[in-house]
Amino acid sequence: MSQVRVRFAPSPTGFFHIGSARTALFNGLYARHTGGKFILRIEDTDKERNSDAFLKVIFDSMRWLGMDWDEGPEVGGDYGPYFQSQRTGLYKAKLQELAAKGRAYEKDGAWWLRLEGARTAAYDEHLKKDYEKVDAAPMVLHDLVRGQVARVEDRDFVIFRSNGEPVFHFVNVVDDIEMRITHVIRGEDHLSNTSKHLELFKAFGVEPPKYAHIPLILKTDGPGKMSKRDKGALIEEYQQRRYLPSAVRNYLCLLGWTPADGKEVLPIEEIIRQFEISAVHQSNARFDERKMSHVNAQTLRNLPAAEFAALARPILLESKVIDASVSDARLAEILGIVQEKVVSLEHLPEFMGFFFTADFKPDEGAKANLTKKGGDPVARVRELLPVLEAAAWNEPALEAAFAAVGAAHERKPTDYFAPVRFAVSGQGGGAHLLGVLRVLGRDTTLARLKSFAA
Ligand code: GLU
């Protein structure tokens, strides 16, 4: 087979949402999987609704997600220009081509596609392979995801409006022809357009590409489609919330596709290796913010320590949790226990601020929990203090100290954990406690415990 050529063809009429990102991603994955080309084409023929700001968001978001295109705006390629607004001459010529064949005619100032017309031998050949048409209808599309889909296209339709502007169906098909697109991977909302597109291919006498309509993304609760107003719908949101782009990309892959081995958090190389269009689900996907957050946490955890530190340092500097004097070694020590527990880089400053100041803000909920069921956190810390003062400052020794004080007072060692954690950090959760005490150091830990117990 000739080289796979797929395209992502957004209209810059709104923000870049996860549905668009997922469509772009599936195209990109398929191109990488097959060693083909991934083309970005901007469908900006609707002058009123297009904006440069939206265009910039598309480019920025795609690059942020690591979805670089092989041909398209800012990159070039042999089949440009890649903005439909710059291809008007071509569309007019292609209209003339159909008119000359008797497949387009003018009525009421608009140009229409004539459905019944001379078929070419090439198209008939293709028809035998992939499509059937029984007289006027129905036409059967063999969709790579949906399987056989029957549609009836029994009326001529407008391809150029009376104001001289070509309609979406026409430019979409002309460009898929001119850009030698082999596979059209797009949202299921376009399934209903496909019979028109097939009629256009037929009129041009060109073999159509293979189609793959990928399932809708439903909102977290209820039957509705995820809309751009729903929380979590815009890619920009994840940028602002400091999600890892690789994690967002990983999660997007799971909206309509499952890796064969069921392992859901995996590196992009592995996703590319496994990705198959035929394995894309027919049923709708459902957006799940908790799962997205889980994938992000898991991806953070899997980062090499040096990479995690390189991401963390500027965030901590910006939020003034640290200043430039904090050494890489000290930071690495702290991050070493934080990395496996923090769920998002966004939380890093509040998660680890207490390592650098005793003047932290205690968490009210955590405080309330300490005294629930008659707990006496001050008494627990007082019991523990002398034992800790005598302990060597490493994790096994600290663990033994908790066990010893528990045994002496007929309590579980864990009864001491929450009071101690709160006393040294003001928090109800966080990194592994013994690690926190070790990294915080003997002097700081004991000073904070004493001031809590005073
Ligand atoms: N411009 C169309 C859209 O944004 C693209 C349709 C297609 O991929 O064929 O939905």
Q: What are the φ and ψ backbone dihedral angles of 187, each rounded to 5 degrees?
A: -65, 150
The answer to whether the beta carbons of residues 66 and 23 sit under 8 Å apart is no
Consecutive H or E run containing 378: helix 377-390
Both 120 and 210 in a single domain? yes
CA 60 to CA 67: how far, in whole Å? 10
**Residue minimizing CA distance to atom 10 of ligand 1:** 10
pLDDT score recorded for residue 134: 36
Q: Which of 147, 180, 214 represents a domain boundary (last residue)?
A: 214
Query: Residue 217, Cβ neighbours under 10 Å: how many?
Result: 23
C-beta of 182 in contact with ligand 1 (< 6 A): no
98 and 209 part of one domain: yes
Within 8 A by CB and 6+ apart from 76, the residues are none
Section 161-171 average pLDDT: 95
CATH code of the domain covering residue 372:
1.10.10.350
**Residue 154 above 80 pLDDT?**
no
Neighbour-count burial for 271-299, b at 16+ CB within 10 Å, e otherwise? bbebbebeebeeeebbbeeeebbbbbbeb
113 with 178, same domain? yes
* Residue 136 sits in the same domain as residue 164: yes
pLDDT greater at residue 260 or residue 370 = 370
pLDDT band at 138 (very low <50, low <70, confident <90, very high): low
Closest residue to atom 3 of ligand 1, CA basis: 10
Whether residue 44 is contained in a domain is answered as no
Q: Residues 325, 397: one domain? A: no
**Domain-located, residue 246:** no
Say if residue 387's pLDDT is above 50. Answer: yes
Picking from 95-104, 120-129, 162-171, 389-398, which range would have the lowest pLDDT averaged per residue? 120-129
- The tally of domains found in the chain comes to 3
Ligand 1 atom at shortest distance from the alpha carbon of 172: 9
- What is the four-CA torsion angle of 210, 212, 213, 214, rounded to 10 degrees? -160
Q: Are 212 and 204 in contact (CB under 8 A)?
A: no
pTM (two decimals): 0.89
Residue 408 counted as domain residue = yes
pLDDT, position 119: 46
The two counts, helices (H) then strands (E), for the chain are 19, 11
Written as six digits, the tokens of 328 are: 């890489």
Ligand 1 mutation pick, 43, 55, 225, max ligand atoms within 8 A of CB = 43
Domain range for residue 176?
87-214
Residue 189 CA: nearest ligand 1 atom is 10
Q: Are residues 141 and 205 in the same domain?
A: yes
Note whether residue 409 is domain-resident.
Answer: yes
With respect to residue 440, please indicate whether it lies within any of the assigned structural domains.
yes
CA of 197, closest atom in ligand 1: 9
**Can you tell me which atom of ligand 1 is nearest the CA of 176?**
9
Residue 14 lies in a domain: no
Nearest CA residue ID for atom 4, ligand 1 = 10
pLDDT tens digit string along 296-343?
A: 999 999 999 999 999 999 999 999 999 999 999 999 999 999 999 999
Instruction: Give one word for 10, left, alpha or beta, with left for phi > 0 and alpha for psi -120 to 50.
Output: beta
Q: Are residues 312 and 407 in the same domain?
A: no
Of the CA atoms within 13 Å of residue 248, those in its CB half-sphere come to 28
For ligand 1, atom 6, the nearest C-alpha belongs to 9
* Any atom of ligand 1 within 6 Å of the Cβ of 190: yes
Helix (H) or strand (E) holding 38: strand 37-40
Residue 13 — pLDDT band, cuts 50, 70, 90? confident
| Residue 232 lies inside a defined structural domain of this protein | no
From the number of C-beta atoms within 10 Å of its C-beta (0-12, 13-18, 19+), residue 242 rates as middle
Picking from 196, 214, 232, the residue at the C-terminal end of a domain is 214
The pLDDT, as a whole number, for residue 404 is 96
Euclidean distance between CA atoms 219 and 229, whole angstroms:
10
